């Protein structure tokens, strides 16, 4: 499987506290790890879309495009993509317009940022079934935007400790419906270090979680394409990519045929 990571945050993302999280440093480490394709996906909210949170508002197009000035001339043979991670807030509110999306290489949208109460999700969302329901609702909604490339850390409820309980509220039939819609839309399903791997197997030194292995296998059966994303906000976090790739190959059996064209086409260029 092509070694890649297209969910990386530089220090331009406000939630990165690592000043060393620069394109140059990521590229250098990627070369050492044998990674072929990198995708920078800093947090973003389009200034043309109303309703940004105070945290998101400064992270506009001009802000994330500073990455071009920080990009080294020599990318060491690594294919570099510049995209973003934006938000879906329900009721048809997506933090990016088609016009801006077309200026980027890719767009990632999480439908599981349920920790942003009063912004991405209603403030009253808290019970496991309610959290599960809104993630399913948002997933279906986002598949209607044909300029969205991929769905970030699917069905992983950020900031919640009872992850298995929440995901367990989603039936296999609901997963099939969601991933069937994603497949029809041609959207990539992210395999993220918060989904997989999450728990350590002492015998294999690999990480796995049965809830998400089942979910990803359903997505695979529905014909979905995938991409890997560490969701790194630091150089240290990015170094986990190799372990993620090993887990994916061992636990899910994915090959290049399962990888989204955003990655495979980048290698061919």
Q: How confident is the model at residue 207 (pLDDT cuts 50, 70, 90)?
A: very low
Judge whether residue 90 has pLDDT over 70.
yes
pLDDT digits over 29-39, tens only?
Answer: 999 999 999 99
Q: Give percent of the chain above pLDDT 90.
A: 84
Which three-class secondary structure string do you get for the chain? Answer: CCCEEEEECCCCCCCCCCCCCCHHHHHHHHHHHCCCEEEEEEECCCCCCCCCCCCCCCCCHHHHCCHHHHCCCCCCCCEEEEEEECCECCCCCECCCHHHHCCCCEEEEECCCCCCECCCECCCCCCHHHHHHHHHHHHHHHCCCCCCCEEECCCCCCCCCCHHHHHCCCCHHHHHHHHHHHHHHCCEEEEECCCCCCCEECCCCEECCHHHHHHHHHHHHCCCEEEEECCECCHHHHCCHHHHHHHHHHHHCCCHHHECHHHHHHHHC
The tens digit of pLDDT for each residue in 247-266 reads 888 889 999 999 999 999 99
Q: Over 50: is that where the pLDDT of 152 sits? A: yes
* Per-residue pLDDT at 162: 87
Is the pTM higher than 0.85? The answer reads yes
| Structural domains present in the chain | 4-268 (3.20.20.140)
pLDDT value for 242: 87
């Amino acid at each position: 499987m092509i070694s890649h990571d297209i969910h990386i945050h530089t220090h331009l993302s406000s939630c990165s506290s690592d000043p060393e999280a620069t394109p140059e440093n990521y590229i250098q480490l990627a070369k050492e790890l044998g990674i072929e394709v990198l995708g920078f996906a800093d947090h973003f909210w389009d200034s043309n879309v109303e309703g940004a949170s105070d945290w998101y508002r400064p992270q506009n197009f001009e802000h994330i495009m500073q990455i071009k000035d920080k990009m080294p001339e020599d990318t060491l043979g690594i294919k570099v993509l510049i995209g973003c991670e934006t938000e879906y807030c329900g009721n048809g509110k997506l933090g990016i317009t088609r016009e801006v999306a077309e200026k980027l290489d890719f767009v990632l949208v999480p439908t599981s940022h349920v920790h942003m109460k009063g912004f991405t999700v209603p403030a009253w969302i808290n019970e496991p079934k309610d959290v599960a329901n809104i993630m399913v609702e948002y997933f279906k909604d986002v598949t209607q935007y044909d300029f969205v490339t991929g769905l970030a850390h699917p069905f992983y409820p950020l900031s919640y400790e009872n992850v298995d309980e929440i995901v367990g509220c989603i039936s296999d039939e609901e997963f099939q419906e969601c991933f069937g819609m994603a497949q029809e839309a041609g959207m990539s399903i992210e395999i993220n270090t918060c989904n997989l791997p999450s728990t350590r197997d002492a015998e294999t030194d690999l990480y796995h979680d049965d809830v998400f292995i089942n979910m990803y296998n359903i997505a695979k059966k529905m014909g979905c394409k995938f991409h890997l994303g560490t969701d790194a906000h630091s150089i240290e976090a990015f170094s986990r990519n190799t372990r993620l790739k090993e887990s994916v190959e061992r636990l899910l059996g994915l090959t290049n045929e399962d990888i989204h064209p955003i990655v495979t086409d980048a290698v061919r260029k």
